[in-house]
Amino acid sequence: MDAASLRRALSQRLQRLPRKFTQARKPDLDKQDVQFASTVGYQLSGRITRPDTEARAPGLVVSPAIHQGRAELERMGGPVTADELASVGYTVLTFDPAGRGDSWGEEDFGGPEHQDDLRRAVEHLARVTGGPVGVLSLSLGLAAAVGALARHPDLPVRWLVDWEGPCDRETITAGGTRMDPAAGHRLDDEDYWHSREAVRHVPKLRCGYVRMQALPDHAQPLELRHAERMMRTVQTGSLPWFQLNDHPRGSVPSRPTWLDGGTLAANLALLRKLAALSAG
C-alpha cells in the first residue's frame, strides 16, 4: 500500500471516531454573550469564546454557513465549533447574521446586509482584542466574508480562511437546482447576484487568503469548480499572499492535492491550519 492509500485508509477509520476521542483535552474556556449594531441599527447577537488565561489570544470571526449562526457553532454537527477554535488559541466571535437566531432584520443570503454584519463583527472583535483578526468562512459564509473585505479593504483583517465556499450563482444554486439562496430571484438577476459572487470580488482583498477544499465536497460531492475558479481568480489580484490547502503560498498547481472528505477530516485540517496561522 502506497503512502496516499495508507493516508486515505487511516482517514476513513478516523471518520468513525467521535471528535472528542481524536482531540487533546480542551483548556478552560470563557464565554460571553455580546450585542453590537449593524450600520442601519439592527441589533446583532454574538458570543465571544476564548481561553480562560491571562495571555492575549488573537481574534477570529466566523462567517457562518447558510441558515446558521452562533448556535450551530456550539455543537459538533459542522466542521468546527467555537470551543475547538478557542482551544487552538483564538478569541472567537460567533454571531447570528441579520434574520437568524436572536439578531434583528431579514435573511440576506450573504448579500450587502450580511456583508455589513460581518464588517461590524470584525470591528467589534478588533476592539476587544486590540489588534487585527482573522476570518473563517464556512460554505456560503464566503459570500458575506469576501463581500465585506472587498468593500472595506481597510478592515483590520490578517487573513481569510475559506472552507469550501460556493463562489458564484452557478455553484451557490448547484446549477439552478437549489434555489433557496436565490430568495425568489432568477439566475439572470444581475443586481441580486453581483454582490454575492465571491469570485468577482476576491481580487480586491488586501489580506491573505486560504482555500480549504476536499474531494468530495461537503455539499456537492463532485464539485471542484468553485475552488478552481477562486484560485484562478485570486492570482489576478494584489493580495499579500494566497494558498490552496497545504500547497506552498502563491502556488496553484495544475493537479492540486485535495483534502480528504468527511466532517472529521475537515475538522482536523481546519484546526491544523488555524493553529499554524495563529503561530504566525
Total number of domains in the chain: 1
What is the model's pLDDT at position 279?
78
What is the model's pLDDT at position 23?
53
Q: Is residue 112 part of a domain?
A: yes
What is the model's pLDDT at position 22?
44
What cell was used for 206? 488586501
Residue 209: closest CA among 276, 163, 170: 163
What is the model's pLDDT at position 5?
52
Q: What is the 3-state secondary structure (H, E, C) of the chain?
A: CCHHHHHHHHHHHHHCCCHHHCCCCCCCEEEEEEEEECCCCCEEEEEEEEECCCCCCCEEEEECCCCCCCHHHHCCCCCCCHHHHHHCCCEEEEECCCCCCCCCCCCCCCCHHHHHHHHHHHHHHHHHHCCCEEEEEECCHHHHHHHHHHHCCCCCEEEEEEECCCCCHHHHCCCCCCCHHHCCCCCCCHHHHHHHCHHHHHHHCCCEEEEECEECCCCCCCCCHHHHHHHHHHCCCCCCCEEECCCCCCCCCCCCCCEECCHHHHHHHHHHHHHHHHCC
What is the model's pLDDT at position 177?
96
What is the model's pLDDT at position 56?
83
What is the model's pLDDT at position 2?
58
Q: Is residue 20 part of a domain?
A: no
Q: Is residue 170 part of a domain?
A: yes
How much is the pTM? 0.92
Q: Is residue 12 part of a domain?
A: no
Q: Is residue 235 part of a domain?
A: yes
Per-residue pLDDT of the chain (280 residues; tens, 9 = 90+): 555 455 555 554 544 445 554 454 566 899 999 999 999 999 999 999 999 887 789 999 999 999 999 999 999 889 999 999 999 999 999 999 999 999 999 999 999 999 999 999 999 999 999 999 999 999 999 999 999 999 999 999 999 999 999 999 999 999 999 999 999 999 999 999 999 999 999 999 999 999 999 999 999 999 999 999 999 999 999 999 999 999 999 999 999 999 999 999 999 999 999 999 997 7
What is the model's pLDDT at position 19?
58
What is the model's pLDDT at position 52?
86
Domain holding 57, by residue range, is 34-278
Q: Is residue 17 part of a domain?
A: no
Tell me, what CATH number does 199's domain have?
A: 3.40.50.1820
Q: Is residue 22 part of a domain?
A: no
What is the model's pLDDT at position 21?
43
Q: Is residue 18 part of a domain?
A: no
